[in-house]
């Protein structure tokens, strides 16, 4: 077939007959050959290491924020340790009066050594040497004076002595980790044994607590207690460490399914405890000591429903008293008369 010089060849024909052939690259190398196995392993190890470090860092931050005890402060003279928030302001003057009262009262210093070697301290206030003794435990990141000075006033009003206990990691007691009652309940058992030794085998004891302290004494009640313990008084306690932590996360709009496992990991790695190890709602299933529960119906920190859950699960003699209009830890300040009346009836039923 003849063509003139100006004729245009078809594209396919031009390619195959072009005197200047385009180079054809044929690669038989796989990705594993382009990136040697050693490099892939190193890159993977670095990636995994970074992820682990990030998780550990997040767990440490969570531990420090949730479980690390706060810097200790002391208050004297005209300084007062007052809870902050609008719901507490109307009660500040009464709280100051209670704190002045116990500061001016004679007291006896006491201390025990915990199961893990910490020195724990307390102060004993006596109104009658033959009266029952309340072992009082304060709340989360609180102090004995702030949380329980009103408890001393209340105990004296019903004729009880008071042993005001400074929980691990608070006030003058040793320790740096708050465990939401998981370790504190064992401290409560230690204090109970100590009280029997100090006050005699015939002494009558009441385990009393507010907020985390309430959960502490309830968890202690799930263990074998000496017959000296006549009843447990728990004011606005939470049903379990797990549930109160998750509840606060929800309040703060945090992704609970993502953050809670990291918080728990922080407790395990840096606090040496598992927040799911024990709980009040489980403890009351095997409690043999009568339990009276108080809770403010307007409590938006530890919901009143948590005390109802504890009450429903409790197999021991029990009583639940809810105070309308009372916020967290304010059941007694809001309605002292109703509180005392309910407590007096219950203690009489317990033979105290």
The pLDDT, as a whole number, for residue 43 is: 86
Dihedral over Cα of 162, 168, 170, 175: its sign: positive
Q: What is the DSSP code string of 44-92?
A: HHHHHHHHHHHHHHHHHHHHHHHTBPPPP----TT------STTTGGGH
Which CATH number fits the domain 85-240+276-349, given the four candidates 3.40.50.1820, 1.10.600.10, 3.10.129.10, 3.90.650.10? 3.40.50.1820
pLDDT at 181 over 80: yes
The CA distance from 124 to 130, in Å, is 14
The model's pLDDT over 106-153, given as tens digits with 9 standing for 90+, comes to 999 999 999 999 999 999 999 999 999 999 999 999 999 999 999 999
Kindly compute the dihedral angle of the four CA atoms of residues 229, 282, 174, 102, in this order, to the nearest 10 degrees: -50
**Mean pLDDT of the 305-312 span:** 98
The pLDDT, as a whole number, for residue 1 is: 44
Residue spans per domain, the chain: 36-66+256-272, 85-240+276-349
DSSP 210: E
Q: How far is CA 248 from CA 227, 289, 303, in A?
A: 37, 30, 11
Compute CA 55 distance to the chain's CA centroid, rounded to the nearest angstrom.
Answer: 21
Q: Strands (DSSP E) along 285-342, which ranges?
A: 291-296, 318-323
**Mean pLDDT of the 329-345 span:** 98
- Reported pTM: 0.87
Residue pointed to by tokens 């403890």: 283
The model's pLDDT over 6-32, given as tens digits with 9 standing for 90+, comes to 454 444 444 444 444 545 445 555 555
């Amino acid at each position: 077939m003849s063509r003139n010089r100006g004729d245009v060849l078809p594209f396919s024909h031009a390619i195959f007959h072009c005197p200047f052939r385009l180079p054809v690259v044929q690669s038989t190398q796989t990705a594993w050959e382009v990136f040697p196995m050693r490099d892939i392993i190193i890159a993977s190890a670095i990636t995994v290491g970074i992820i682990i470090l990030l998780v550990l860092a997040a767990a440490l931050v969570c531990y420090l924020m949730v479980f690390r005890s706060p810097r200790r402060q002391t208050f004297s003279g005209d300084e007062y340790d007052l809870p902050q928030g609008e719901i507490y302001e109307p009660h500040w003057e009464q709280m100051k009066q209670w704190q002045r009262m116990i500061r001016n009262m004679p007291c006896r210093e006491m201390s025990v050594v915990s199961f893990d070697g910490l020195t724990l301290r307390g102060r004993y206030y006596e109104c009658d040497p033959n009266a029952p003794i309340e072992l009082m435990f304060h709340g989360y990141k609180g102090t004995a004076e702030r949380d329980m000075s009103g408890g001393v006033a209340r105990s004296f009003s019903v004729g009880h002595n008071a042993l005001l206990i400074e929980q691990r990691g608070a006030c003058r007691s040793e320790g740096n980790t708050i465990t939401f009652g998981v370790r504190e309940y064992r401290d409560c058992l230690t204090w109970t044994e100590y009280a029997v030794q100090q006050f005699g085998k015939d002494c009558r004891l009441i385990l009393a607590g507010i907020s985390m302290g309430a959960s502490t004494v309830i968890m202690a009640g799930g263990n074998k207690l000496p017959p000296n313990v006549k009843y447990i008084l728990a004011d606005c306690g939470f049903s379990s460490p797990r549930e109160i932590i998750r509840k606060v996360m929800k309040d703060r709009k945090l992704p609970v399914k993502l953050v809670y496992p990291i918080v728990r990991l922080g407790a395990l790695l840096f606090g040496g405890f598992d927040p799911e190890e024990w709980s009040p709602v489980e403890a009351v299933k095997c409690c043999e000591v009568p339990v009276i529960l108080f809770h403010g119906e307007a409590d938006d920190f530890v919901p009143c429903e948590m005390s109802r859950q504890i009450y429903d699960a409790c197999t021991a003699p029990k009583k639940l008293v809810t105070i309308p209009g009372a916020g967290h830890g304010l059941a007694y300040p809001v309605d002292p008369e109703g509180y005392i009346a309910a407590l007096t009836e219950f203690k009489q039923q317990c033979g105290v």
